[in-house]
Amino acid sequence: MENLWVQIGNYGFPMVIAFYLLVRIEKKLDDLTVAINDLARTLGNRG
């Protein structure tokens, strides 16, 4: 049983952190995509 807790500590915590960071990066990439599309639309209307 103690070995199970050690394995969870060694692998579970890094997996949770990696998942959290991936979710945050995905949100920022979505916001960046919207900003780029808005910029392209704005520059397209100028010409």
For the chain of 47 residues, list the mean pLDDT of each consecutive stretch of 10: 86 92 94 96 85
Q: Using a cut of 0.75, tell me whether the model's pTM lies above it.
A: no
* The pLDDT of residue 47: 60
- 22 DSSP 8-state letter: H
Return d(Cα 44, Cα 31) in angstroms, integer. Answer: 20
* The pLDDT of residue 36: 97
